[in-house]
Amino acid sequence: MTAGESHILRADKISMRFGGFTALNDVSVAFPEGQLTAIIGPNGAGKSTFFNIISGAFPPSEGRIFFRGREITGTPQHRFARLGIAKSFQITNVFPQLTALENVRFAIQCMSQRFNVWTPRSRYRAMEEQAAALLEMVELHQHHHRLAMNLAHGEQRALEIALALACDPSLLLLDEPTAGMSPEETTVMMDLIIRLAGERTVILVEHKMKLIMGISNHLIVLHHGELLAEGTPDAVRANDEVRRVYLGQGDH
């Protein structure tokens, strides 16, 4: 971290055990605000487990999580959106029988505490406009009225991100945003992530090391459930341990 940089999220001494197996061991990392941080590492390194813990899917066996200095360990997941934390998972979460616009408008309605049957029609229009703006942001503006189930895989992932953006999060968490995508879809998604990271903090888990090296500000490398290295892509690339356990593995 450089002088003047602040952290939005901090994980302190995180350990996770599944029965007798230790998936994470004493991992402490801090995520710089306003930057794109990627969590990387070989298969089984503990990336998804760590992502699930920082996104509130389950609490760690040991350790604590802080968001803007406030402890959020054990906070129920549904409260994360109100804190300003949104996440998008590998498994798409969209309503297949609703259109793209209806999906996003519904997410906005869910975020609106004062929404009820007495809500004036003008509010619906405002929500519809907000939904349209979010679809434009993820480049789905030409697909407002298509059913989600008829969108291509990459488009469904983009729609999923639009749903996550409905709460206008200051922190966006993405679990393997390019999983299962064609090279063309991957390029579109990477461009979207770069744009999103220009406006908010983004933390993501990603397998495609070469791609992620090119767009991240900060990398966290896990290996066998431990923090192996962290820093800028250049610093991580130059790290002998990382080269030994990870970069030498071929097609990443």
Note the residues at the interface with ligand ATP (CB under 6 A).
18, 21, 23, 41, 43-49
Nearer to ligand ATP, 44 or 96 (CB): 44
Nearer to ligand ATP, 49 or 216 (CB): 49
Q: Give first-to-last CA distance, the chain, whole Å.
A: 27
> Closest Cα partner for 158 from 177, 184, 132?
177
> Closest Cα partner for 161 from 127, 123, 190?
190
Nearest approach, Cβ of 116 to ligand ATP (angstroms)?
39
Nearest approach, Cβ of 179 to ligand ATP (angstroms)?
9
Query: What is the secondary structure of the chain as a DSSP string?
Result: --TT--EEEEEEEEEEEETTEEEEEEEEEEEETTSEEEEE-STTSSHHHHHHHHTTSS--SEEEEEETTEE-TT--GGGHHHHTEEEE-SS----TTSBHHHHHHHHHHHH-TT-STT--HHHHHHHHHHHHHHHHHTT-GGGTTSBGGGS-HHHHHHHHHHHHHTT--SEEEEESTTTT--HHHHHHHHHHHHHHHTTSEEEEE-S-HHHHHHH-SEEEEEETTEEEEEE-HHHHHT-HHHHHHTGGGS--
Nearest approach, Cβ of 78 to ligand ATP (angstroms)?
21
> Closest Cα partner for 86 from 134, 47, 150, 23?
134
Nearer to ligand ATP, 41 or 154 (CB): 41
| Phi, psi dihedrals of residue 21, rounded to the nearest 5° | -95, 130
Nearest approach, Cβ of 23 to ligand ATP (angstroms)?
3
Nearer to ligand ATP, 41 or 169 (CB): 41
Nearest approach, Cβ of 41 to ligand ATP (angstroms)?
5
Nearest approach, Cβ of 249 to ligand ATP (angstroms)?
12
Nearest approach, Cβ of 236 to ligand ATP (angstroms)?
16
Nearer to ligand ATP, 167 or 209 (CB): 209
Nearer to ligand ATP, 111 or 179 (CB): 179
Nearer to ligand ATP, 50 or 80 (CB): 50
